[in-house]
Structure 1
């Protein structure tokens, strides 16, 4: 059964900052979805944010009705689709929060039910399943602007979980493509529990840039290992993914390419997306690779069947992949279609968005696949999560998605009557709200 879940703003927050929900985002405010995660028991967690920036407002403005602000919000939903609780924290440098902030923030439910919130570079925060408190924070403290560097306690920039509980991680390194900051460069797997008192060693499997520049001993991380030694300086997996597909990017030679979030296709097989350099004038037609990498670090193949122009993920920057490791399926959604592969990398289904039935998919972003095989999509403007049951046999995917899209329209109408949103902005009053 498909569900539709609203990404709601706490009423207390809307009232505190006197947010004008009717105002267009060109006024300097907005709501943005980041990620969705599902627990084995069927509960859903959604991570999204709201911010406002008005030029000319002083950084020390005290009136919350005028001041600029930024918040991240996590909402927990029951299997029936009811909001159970929300948690929020401020994102400003002045905010007193236990959550380690960063870019490209993602969610993951760990095998013990703890919620992990990760962000680049290598920051991971563990939160109780009920969202009431932060368990612990692994904060890299890497290269904070205008601050003297003090080594922190890093973990990963993103985490995924395999059926047996292994942690598939992406890790940022300093000096990637000679940039003077940290960018995602390593994919690895950790065997062992991530808890408040211990973190497992991440065994590096694949790299993007084989020779990041200007590293020193301070850039070596003991909890990320390759061939028995910490990753850093000259030690990382070789050949890098970009070296293995070097002849496929004749324009930029994979220089300034980037890694997407890796997803587990099985306990011992992972999909690692690599995207070529993006250009200001448009990047459609740029090469990309959805590499299949095993737990020995070998690139065994790729997800085939996409044309780099007709199926380009660069249109709209649709870089997410999702995988169902319990059934061995991988999924990708972009402006041109929803794609599904089997474990061998063969494209089994493409739902073309040129047709009327699947054109609504162009308004959604794919976030994750639940342990039950459901796809979780977020509507980019209506701030709703669509939960799509995916059949065990991919031959039934088209019918399942079409039915879910029809159900979305009906459920959205019901939610509008219940919630009375303003310009597709939903507000909630009666859900417990925790400040982290």
Structure 2
């Protein structure tokens, strides 16, 4: 995530597992798994790093357990929110040297009785006015075991998240309304619909599953939206959001299965979808790339998968498509789309070479293809220069300039 000042925070992970190393007392042989957040300055130099997910030096447990599908958000006061499924949120200082507050939620088949959990959100995005657009999880949804991301909610104007401050989230959309298995104990007090917590039938009336089934004419189809999944919502503005939803996955190929990037307003109405995508030729199921990022200041949304990079205006009209089948854009298959920065740049990460690429987005999206092609050409030259400077081994880059904080 990037700040308005141009600094960039990147979440990454480092793991090693070898069967013969289990139980080894030699640190050089032991298995490990860490998550890292690195802050980069405007010039791309690392300035701070936080390491978490395993025991800190000395053996004490990490203050931030390793989470599933973790994401970052830069809050209006500069604090860094780390959220992971099913609903944990940890707040870090901008210098990544302190955990300011934690709202944990453990994974499990069912809600643990007597467990002192205090979850906040599985993901957070920040609107231009500073409201928190969140995805939260619920137990007891249909026949699913465990807590499952199921609610899109937003904080009230002026509410802030911080030590001792946990804002109420107002539910605006539910993915799946099949809640017959829920009990009163399955609710989270801070996620509310009307005057009461979201639980059972107290939730937005029309589920995204039903709305998208009706919109696409797939009601009752095995390839529709029953048992679908949603990923992190993106803010197209203070009152318009993109919610990625994809249909049930199967063991065989899922290419051609239903998916939608739904446009939902702050009252929960489905305004349509990001259009122009072919279920098979543009399928995000290949590689499971369902991330959508948005530029709320300019009213644009973007998506990258194995088949292309796409850009839409806020009304859902596809304005640009760069196919990875075309020679200038073939390198895009190796990149992951992280976000659109406040400066109006797409931030991409190379999956194997572990480098970041910034692509300036022109005011007119018709010129995006030219900008992307130019950025990919520059990437090759800059990568060569960095290799001479750092001499990476297996594309692992070593830099000792940043302070490392074990949290």
Please tell me the TM-score bracket, short chain as reference: over 0.9
CA deviation string 1:103-125 (max 9, x = no partner): 10000000111000000111000
Q: Counterpart of 2:19 in 1: which secondary structure?
A: coil
Taking the aligned partners of 2:127 and 2:313, their CA distance within structure 1 comes to 16
| Deviation at residue 218 of structure 1 after TM alignment | 2.0
Q: 2:67 aligns with which of 95, 98, 102?
A: 102
- Unaligned runs of 5+ residues in structure 1 are 1-36
Q: Which residue of 2 aligns with 1:308?
A: 279
Change in 2 beyond 3 A, CA 1:144/1:114: farther
- In the superposition, the TM-score normalised over structure 2's length comes to 0.94
Q: Which residue of 1 aligns with 2:400?
A: 429
Does residue 138 in structure 1 map to residue 103 in structure 2? yes
For the 8 Å contact 1:47–1:74, the answer to whether it is kept is: yes
TM alignment of 1:333-344, pairs within 5 A: 333-344=304-315
- Unaligned runs of 5+ residues in structure 2 are none
| Deviation at residue 213 of structure 1 after TM alignment | 4.8
Change in 2 beyond 3 A, CA 1:78/1:430: closer
Does residue 323 in structure 1 map to residue 287 in structure 2? no
Q: Counterpart of 2:327 in 1: which secondary structure?
A: coil
Does residue 87 in structure 1 map to residue 50 in structure 2? yes
Change in 2 beyond 3 A, CA 1:154/1:147: closer
Taking the aligned partners of 1:275 and 1:112, their CA distance within structure 2 comes to 34
Q: Counterpart of 1:266 in 2: which secondary structure?
A: coil
Q: 2:137 aligns with which of 157, 169, 172?
A: 172
Q: Which residue of 2 aligns with 1:214?
A: 181
Q: CA RMSD in A?
A: 1.9
For the 8 Å contact 1:142–1:152, the answer to whether it is kept is: no
For the 8 Å contact 1:53–1:69, the answer to whether it is kept is: yes
CA deviation string 1:382-435 (max 9, x = no partner): 111111111122122111111110111111011101110012111222321111
Does residue 52 in structure 1 map to residue 16 in structure 2? yes
Q: 2:319 aligns with which of 324, 348, 357?
A: 348
Q: Counterpart of 2:49 in 1: which secondary structure?
A: strand
TM alignment of 1:5-404, pairs within 5 A: 37-58=1-22, 60-91=23-54, 96-141=61-106, 143=108, 149-191=114-156, 192-246=159-213, 247-248=217-218, 250-404=221-375
Change in 2 beyond 3 A, CA 1:169/1:146: closer
Structure ranking higher on relative contact order (CA contacts 8 Å, 6+ apart): 1
